[in-house]
Amino acid sequence: MDLKIKIKNVFKKNLNAFKNILPMFIGIILLINLIKVIFGNNFYKNILTNNTFLNSFILNGLGSIMAGNAMISYIIGQEMLANGIVLFLVLVFILAWVNVGFIQLPAESLILDKKFAITRNIIAFLSNFLVAGITVLILGWI
């Protein structure tokens, strides 16, 4: 096939695909900013308990719901550390923020496949405990 026609066809096909995905991107951007504005950066203080095990689930869940630039999660993590929250919990929260995407789940399901998106996010959610735990263990040995 003539390269020009091939490029034209590919351009058209991808433009249509992109047009279909665009509403989802706009939706995610709008939702991320709404959540950020409504909850602010100190939202975690009111929901933590005295139980580290329970807190790890709470922060993993919270990090999974929150989205946006990873830098925000580091800043919140810094504040958590300053407030006496242990490193393990802070790492779980940061890992959930960057690895598990509850808000992006509809987009991931529609574009990549529902089963893939759900399995990937569940495994990422569970592995956050292990990654944070192993990191803290290694740091203890060093």
Partner 1 sequence: MTNKNIISKLKYNLFKIYNKIGGMGIFLGLVIILYLITLIINPNKFILSLNNSIKLFLSLTWIFIMIFLLMIIIDLFINKNKINKFFNKKNNLFSWFFIIIAGIISTGPIYMWYPIIGELKEKGMPIKYQVAFLYNRSIKIPLIYPMIEIFSSKVVITLLIVMIIFSIINGYIVELILNYNKKTTINNKYNNNK
Interface residues with partner 1 (CB under 8 A)?
A: 6-7, 10-11, 13-15, 17-18, 20-21, 23-34, 36-38, 70-71, 74-75, 77-78, 81, 87, 91, 95, 98-99, 101, 104, 106-108, 110-112, 115-116, 119-120, 123-124, 127, 130-131, 134-135, 138-139, 142
Place of tokens 């992006």: 104
Give whichever of 47 and 139 is closer to partner 1, judged by the CB atom: 139
DSSP letters, 91-113, are HHHHHHHHH--TTTHHHHHHHH-
In the bound complex, what is the minimum distance in angstroms from residue 125's beta carbon to partner 1?
11
Give whichever of 43 and 99 is closer to partner 1, judged by the CB atom: 99
Whole-Å CA distances, 15 to 27, 58, 131: 19, 41, 39
Instruction: Count the residues in the chain.
Output: 142
